[in-house]
Each structure stands twice: as C-alpha cells, then as structure tokens.
C-alpha cells in the first residue's frame, strides 16, 4: 500500500527548519529587544480596540506546561495566544500524569506529539526549558526555571519602565528582598544592564551574597543592607517576594524583615518623586510592601500585568511567524489607527478601589 505524505519535505530547504526559543535573556540581542518592544507596542494598540482578537496565529498551537503555581504568567500567555487566535492547551503538573511519576522528558514528548508550535514551560528545576527544547520540535519559552531565569517577566518590566519613564539609560534600579532566590532579579539585572541601568541590591546579608555583584559583567551593581540607602534617589524600585519555597538557609523573622526591608511610604519618599514601584507578584502585602505603597500612585503592579499580555503576544509572534524588520508589525495589526506611542496608565491612587488582603505564595 502506498503511504500518503502529509508533510511536503521536498518543499523544505535541506536540513532542519530553524527554530527559535526564549530560554534566557542572554538569548536576546539589543536589536531583538527593540524589535520585541516595537511589536509589543503595536499589539498593545490592537488591545485598545473594541475587538481585540487578531488572526495572526490562527491554526497554531501554544501549550502552557506549568510545574509551579502561577497566576500572571500562565493567564497572560493563554490570553496572548488567544488574542492572536492560536489554539491553547494548559497542562498543570498537579492533576496530570506527573502525579503518577511521569518524567519531564516523557511529558514533553507526549505534548510534542500534538505538534505544538510553542511550548511555554515553568519548572522548579534550572534547565528544564532547555530539556524541552531538546526533546520536542516546538519553539520553547522559559516561563521561569527555579531561581535561574524569568525572561518574559524581565521583558515586561523593561517595557513598563520604558513606557512610564521614556528611557532606560542611566536609571538607578533598587532591587529589594530575597535577591538570591529570585529569577526575576537575575533576569532583570542581565536585561536592564544591557540598556545602561545600574543596580542597588538590598536585603538580608544571606540573600544578597557578594557573588551577585559579578553576575552581569559590565553592569554596575552595589550591595547595600539598609533599604533607606538602596532606594535613595532610585528611579525604579523592584520589590521581591520572600521565596520560602526555594530557601535552605536560616531565615529571618517576619517582624525583623518588615523592620529592615519593607517598602513603606516613608521609605519611598527617599526615591525620586516620580520613581516607579514594581513587583512581579504575588505580593505579600504587609510583609515586603505596605498596602498603601502597593496601591499608591507610584505602583506599576497592574501596569506590569497588563503589559505582560502585549509583550507575550510579541514573543509568540516573533518566535513563530515573525520575520519582522525594524520593529514593523505584522500586517494584521497595521490597520490599528494612530502610532503605538507609549502611554502612562497610572492616573489614580487605587487604594480606595482595592481590598487590602494578605498575598499568597505561588
């Protein structure tokens, strides 16, 4: 019996098709980042329209594979894919065959058998996204691997800073909290450092070890142990959650942590008057940040969440379909009226609108 070939290999150029991944911010050149920001701005304009869906990735499949809890990253990747008309599949390790002992390789290959275009993976083990890239034919996006990298978070943080402040060069960025275990801090230092930001890292000594000063050669990084000193004159303050799930060393009491490292209104006054407060979430309100600051006019926490969708749309697009030159957008977005100018959504103090509650660890 003659078999029918569904894939016209004869039409492909010789050798495997090129495949792009986003496994680490080190994968990105400055040009890549600029192209991504331009594409995200165009998608952001599209999201302001009444009908937000674009046909750009119609017929593509995006698999979200999450071995750790997530609200923001998982939901925004799903929304980004849906806004681009891709099919989506969400697989969480809890309740899946991972519970029965299935290995990451077998799970990845199983999902790879559906021929996804993109696999977005979050995993507690460093290097898990690289493994998925080796054993499947999909484009792979690292949505957080252990304390190593969270590239899409750094990209949306950079996007938010550029949008709100209009520049990156020369910004003083204070990073406060459990820096040692933070993939967000690590990714931001590497990425923002490429664009001329300099850093004050602050937290209890065991969470801000000396080696962090050298993680991004060419980037000015200083360690300080008083939050007042760290935020003095800062343009941006990135507050971090204490990541109890990744800590093995002696901890610090909640009271001591609050006393030494909590960002409150009084401490925030030491930063520049228009300084931004960023937090990747989830926040532990009343621990690393007061509700007053979390909901205050300088907080960009919800802008980060909103921007996460446009930035992740740009990532999905550029990985799968984007042969984009000079930041030009996909034809599907070119009907968007107006230029994709940065705009600042922080208009009001949200404290009156939002309930005050304790944050929950993810």
Footprint of ligand CP (CB under 6 A): 70-74, 144, 153, 280-282, 362
Output 177 or 280, the one with its CB closest to ligand CP: 280
Nearest approach, Cβ of 74 to ligand CP (angstroms)? 6
DSSP state of 299: B
Q: How far is the CB of 75 from ligand CP (least distance, A)?
A: 8
CB of 281 to ligand CP, least distance (A): 5
Distance CA 35, CA 245 (A): 35
Q: What are the E-state strand segments in the chain?
A: 61-66, 87-92, 118-123, 139-145, 172-176, 198-202, 221-224, 236-239, 276-278
Residue 72 or 139 with smaller CB distance to ligand CP = 72
Query: 35 vs 72, which CB is nearer to ligand CP?
Result: 72
Between 12 and 358, CB nearer to ligand CP = 358
DSSP string covering 25-58: GGG--HHHHHHHHHHHHHHHHHHTSSS----TTT
DSSP reduced 3-state for 350: helix
The pair of structure tokens assigned to 157 is 């943080």
Q: 45 or 153: whose CB is closer to ligand CP? A: 153
Between 153 and 160, CB nearer to ligand CP: 153
User: Radius of gyration of the chain from Cα atoms?
Assistant: 21
CB of 132 to ligand CP, least distance (A): 18
Quick one: 308 or 340, whose CB is closer to ligand CP? 308
Nearest distance, CB of residue 310 and ligand CP, angstroms:
16
Phi, psi torsion values for 181, nearest 5 degrees: -95, 10
Q: Is the peptide bond before 185 cis (omega within 30 degrees of 0)?
A: no
Nearer to ligand CP, 66 or 207 (CB): 66
> Residues 114, 89: contact at Cβ < 8 Å?
yes
Nearest to 305 by CA among 110, 17, 70, 24: 70
Judged by beta carbon, residue 74 or residue 320, the one nearer ligand CP is: 74
The strand pairing partners of 231, in sequence order, are: none
CA angle 351, 355, 360 (to 5 degrees): 115
**Smallest distance, Å, CB 336 to ligand CP?**
27
104 CA to centre of own chain: 22
CA proximity to 160, closest of 278, 30, 275, 6: 278
- In the complex, the smallest distance separating the C-beta of residue 242 from ligand CP, rounded to whole angstroms, is 14
Place of tokens 């698999």: 63
Closest contact distance (angstroms) between CB of 205 and ligand CP is 25
Task: Provide, rounded to whole angstroms, the least separation between the CB of residue 335 and ligand CP.
Answer: 32
- Would you say 156 and 182 are in contact if contact means Cβ atoms under 8 Å apart? no
């Amino acid at each position: 019996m003659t078999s029918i070939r569904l894939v016209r290999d004869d039409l492909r150029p010789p050798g495997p098709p090129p495949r792009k991944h986003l496994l680490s911010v080190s994968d990105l050149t400055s040009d890549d980042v600029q192209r991504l920001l331009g594409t995200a701005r165009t998608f952001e304009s599209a999201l302001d329209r009444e009908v937000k869906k674009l046909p750009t990735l119609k017929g593509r499949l995006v698999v979200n594979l999450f071995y750790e809890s997530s609200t923001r990253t998982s939901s925004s990747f799903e929304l980004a894919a849906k806004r681009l008309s891709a099919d989506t599949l969400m697989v969480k390790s809890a309740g899946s065959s991972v519970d029965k002992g299935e290995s990451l390789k077998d799970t990845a290959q199983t999902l790879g058998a559906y021929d996804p275009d993109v696999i977005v993976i979050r995993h507690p083990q460093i290097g898990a996204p690289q493994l998925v890239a080796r054993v499947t034919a999909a484009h792979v996006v690292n949505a957080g691997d252990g304390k190593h990298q969270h590239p899409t978070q750094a990209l949306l943080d950079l996007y938010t800073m550029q949008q709100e402040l209009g520049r990156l060069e020369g910004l003083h960025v204070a990073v406060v909290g459990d820096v040692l275990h933070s993939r967000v801090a690590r990714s931001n230092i590497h990425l923002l450092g490429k664009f001329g930001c300099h850093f004050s890292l602050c937290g209890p000594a065991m969470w801000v070890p000396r080696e962090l000063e050298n993680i991004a050669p060419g980037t000015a990084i200083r360690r300080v142990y008083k939050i007042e000193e760290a935020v003095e004159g800062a343009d941006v303050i990135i507050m971090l959650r204490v990541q109890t799930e990744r800590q093995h060393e002696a901890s610090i009491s909640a009271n001591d942590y609050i006393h030494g490292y909590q960002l409150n209104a009084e401490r925030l006054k030491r930063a520049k008057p228009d300084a931004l407060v960023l937090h990747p979430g989830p926040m532990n309100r009343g621990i690393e940040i007061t509700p007053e600051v979390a909901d205050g006019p300088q907080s960009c926490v919800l802008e980060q969440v909103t921007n996460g969708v446009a930035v992740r749309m740009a990532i999905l697009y550029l990985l799968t379909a984007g042969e984009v030159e000079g930041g030009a957008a996909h034809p599907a977005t070119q009907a968007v009226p107006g230029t994709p100018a940065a705009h600042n959504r922080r208009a009001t103090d949200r404290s009156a609108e939002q309930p005050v509650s304790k944050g929950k660890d993810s």
